[in-house]
Structure 1
C-alpha cells in the first residue's frame, strides 16, 4: 500500500506535546521543587512505538482538529461569507470536549506515524492495517518495566475509537467495524483478563496525613501550601474530578450561609463536566464549614483568596507580607476558624481568574490554570511524601475518597449521589462495597 499523501497531513493535528514525539519544555514548577507542565499531556506508552525522525518532522507541521474535515470547510467558505464559515468552524470544533480532542489527536498522530513508518495509508485505513497496529501496540511493554504491558485494553479501544472518529469526520466508513479489528480487540481483552486497577481512595485519615506533608508556611513555599490545602480539601469534600478542579475560577465561587446552622459555606459552580459536557445543568457543589480549622474548606478558601488579593493589589512585596502573617497564624495552635469573620473577596470579577494556578519553587503564582494531569501528579507527590505508594493514588482518589468515606460514615446512596453528581446507583455501590464489604451482605445472617 502507498504512503500517506501530503494532502492528508493538512487534516491531522497532534496535541501539543502529544503524539510520538517528545514532550515540550516544562512549564512553571508546582511549588514542590518539580517542574509542572500545564499544557502538555505525557505521551502514553503506545506512542513509544518506533517513529523515524523524518516522520516527527512532518507531523509538526499539521494543523486543525482531527475531527473536522477542513476540505468540507473550504467548500463552505467558497459558498458563504467568512463570518458564516467561521461560525460553522467554531461550533464543529466545539462538538467534542477538549480532553477528548486532546486524546484523539494524540492517538491519531501515533497511528499516522506508524502508517508512515510502515508505508501504509492512514486515511482511509485498511482494516487489516488497523488490526496489526493495535496488535503491535498491545505487545508494547514499558521501557522502565519490561514485565508490564505499556497499554491497557481500554486505552487500545480508545485508540480504535479515535481512528473511527477521524474516518467519520471525513465521511469515510470506519475500518474498526470490520471483524478483523473487533476480533483483535476481543482477543486482547481475553488475553489480558485482569481486574481494572482502581486508584486508592483518599479517606479522611489519609487526607490529614497528606496535609501534614505540605510545604512550610511563609515565603517561598507558603503560596503552594495554601493552594494545595484548598485543592485537596475541595477535591475531597466536593467529590470533584481532576478536570473539574483544574477548570475552577474565582468567578465560580461564592461564600454563602448554611440555612440550618448559620455557618458559612463555600458554593462552587461547575460548568461542563464529564457527564454533562454541554453544560445543560447548573451543577452547584456546597462545601460546609469544617469541624476543625486545618480541614475547613471555607477557611482554606479565605487563606488562598487573601494571598491572591495581596498579590493583585500590592505585588510580590505584599504577597510576602501576607505569607508572613499567615505563617504566624498557623504556628499558633490556638488559631480559631476565620471563616466566620472573613469579609469575602472581590476576585470574582468576571475575568475568569483561575482558582488553582501553577506556583513555582520561588513562590511565583502563574496566571493560567493547572491541568488535570497536574492535579493527579500533585496527589501522587503528596502520597509519596507521606510514605505511601504514589502509583496507588491519582486525581480520582479524592473523588473516590469522598464516596468511600461517606459510605463508611453511614451516608445513604441518595446523599452520596447528590454531592458527587452520580446518576447511576451502581457506581456508588462500588464505593460502598469498598468501604464495607459486609454492608447489606447476607453472609452476616448465616449464624456462623
Structure 2
C-alpha cells in the first residue's frame, strides 16, 4: 500500500514537472496551447499512463482526437505538447519519437488533411442491405469467384461485425479487443457487450453497451464453439475497416464506409428513433455533445 502511495506521488510530481517545464520554455501563446493540450492528455489517459506514456497510448489518443473532429493542426499540436512534456522529464523515453506515433500522425494527415469528410453511416437501411447481400459469392482480384461455403462463412462474419459496430458504436480498437466473454445474452434475446472505457483504456475500467436480438443471433452464427477468452472477430483494425468497406460496396452502398461507420450509424439510428442526445452519448461513450450533433446533422427525431 505504501509503495502504491509513493508511486502515485512520484507520478504527480513528474506530471507537474513536465507542466512547469512547458510553461517556462515557450512563448505565451505556445505555452497556453501546450499546457492545455498536455492537461487534456493527462485527464483522458489517466495519471498512471501519462509518464512515460507508451507509443500505443499516444497513437490511440491522437486517433481519438481525429474521431472527435479535431483538425490535423490541433492533433499535431497535441503530439508536440506530449513530446515536450516527455522531453522535460529528461530520463524517460519520448513516445512521440516512436514509429508508431509517426505512422499514426501520417495516417491521420492522409485521412483528414484534405477534407474531414464524415464516414457513411451503418444505419438501419445500410445494415438491411448488407444482411441481404453479404453471403453472396464475390469475385476476387484475380477474377476467381468465391466458393459458396466460403462466401457464406465470410458473409456471416461481415454481418456480425457490421451489426456489433452499429449497435454498440464500437471503435475498431474495441472490436479488435472483444472476446466472447465480453458478450452477455439477456432473457429476451437481446444482449450486452463489455467494452473498454476508452481507446486508451483509462485505468482498466469498462463500460457495457446494449446490442439487439438480431445482432446476438448474428454473433451466435459465427461462434462455432469458441471459448470465453477467444477473440470474437480475430481481426486487426485495418482488416475491420477493409471488411466494412467491402461489405458496403458489395451491397451497392458506395465507397464512403469505414471502420468508423458503425459509430456514425449508432448516433443516427438512435436519433431517428427519438432518443435524447444524452442517451446517444451514453451508448456511444461520447463526452463531446458536438460530435453527436455533427454525426446527426439533418436527422429528424422520430423518423423511424
**Displacement of 1:422 after TM fit?**
2.1
Change (3 A) 1:233 1:397: same
Does residue 1:372 correspond to 2:297, yes or no? Answer: no
Instruction: Give the secondary structure class of the aligned counterpart of 2:275.
Output: coil
CA distance in 2, matches of 1:102, 1:425: 20
CA distance in 1, matches of 2:300, 2:194: 32
The residue that corresponds to 1:322 in the other structure is none
The residue that corresponds to 1:207 in the other structure is 127
**Displacement of 1:376 after TM fit?**
1.4
**Displacement of 1:171 after TM fit?**
4.7
Aligned partner of 1:283 among 184, 190, 207:
207
**Displacement of 1:101 after TM fit?**
5.1
Is the 8 Å Cα contact of residues 238 and 286 (structure 1) preserved in structure 2?
yes
Does residue 1:98 correspond to 2:56, yes or no? Answer: yes
| Mapping of residues 157-172 of structure 1, within 5 Å | 157=77, 160=80, 163-164=83-84, 167-168=87-88, 170-171=90-91
CA distance in 1, matches of 2:211, 2:231: 19
**Displacement of 1:300 after TM fit?**
0.8
Aligned partner of 1:244 among 169, 174, 177:
174
Is the 8 Å Cα contact of residues 273 and 279 (structure 1) preserved in structure 2?
no
Change (3 A) 1:372 1:277: farther
Does residue 1:302 correspond to 2:302, yes or no? Answer: no
| Mapping of residues 52-67 of structure 1, within 5 Å | none
CA distance in 2, matches of 1:226, 1:193: 35
CA distance in 2, matches of 1:400, 1:212: 21
**Displacement of 1:230 after TM fit?**
1.0
Change (3 A) 1:102 1:398: closer
CA distance in 1, matches of 2:155, 2:236: 18
CA distance in 1, matches of 2:55, 2:180: 22
Does residue 1:235 correspond to 2:195, yes or no? Answer: no
Instruction: Give the secondary structure class of the aligned counterpart of 2:155.
Output: helix
Instruction: Give the secondary structure class of the aligned counterpart of 1:264.
Output: coil
Does residue 1:355 correspond to 2:232, yes or no? Answer: yes
CA distance in 2, matches of 1:266, 1:94: 38
Please, what TM-score do these two structures have when normalized by structure 1? 0.43
Is the 8 Å Cα contact of residues 265 and 287 (structure 1) preserved in structure 2?
yes
List per-residue Cα deviations over 1:26-73 (Å, max 9, x = no partner).
Answer: xxxxxxxxxxxxxxxxxxxxxxxxxxxxxxxxxxxxxxxxxxxxxxxx
Does residue 1:419 correspond to 2:287, yes or no? Answer: no
Instruction: Give the secondary structure class of the aligned counterpart of 2:161.
Output: helix
**Displacement of 1:161 after TM fit?**
5.0
Change (3 A) 1:164 1:377: farther
Please, what TM-score do these two structures have when normalized by structure 2? 0.60
CA distance in 1, matches of 2:296, 2:61: 31
CA distance in 2, matches of 1:389, 1:356: 24
The residue that corresponds to 2:198 in the other structure is 273
Is the 8 Å Cα contact of residues 97 and 277 (structure 1) preserved in structure 2?
no
User: Which consecutive unaligned segments of at least 5 residues does structure 1 have?
Assistant: 1-89, 105-150, 177-191, 258-262, 290-295, 313-346, 358-369, 440-448
**Displacement of 1:219 after TM fit?**
2.4
Cα RMSD for the two superposed structures: 3.8
Change (3 A) 1:388 1:410: same
The residue that corresponds to 1:220 in the other structure is 150
| Mapping of residues 392-431 of structure 1, within 5 Å | 392-431=256-295
CA distance in 2, matches of 1:225, 1:381: 11
CA distance in 2, matches of 1:268, 1:168: 41
Change (3 A) 1:288 1:393: closer
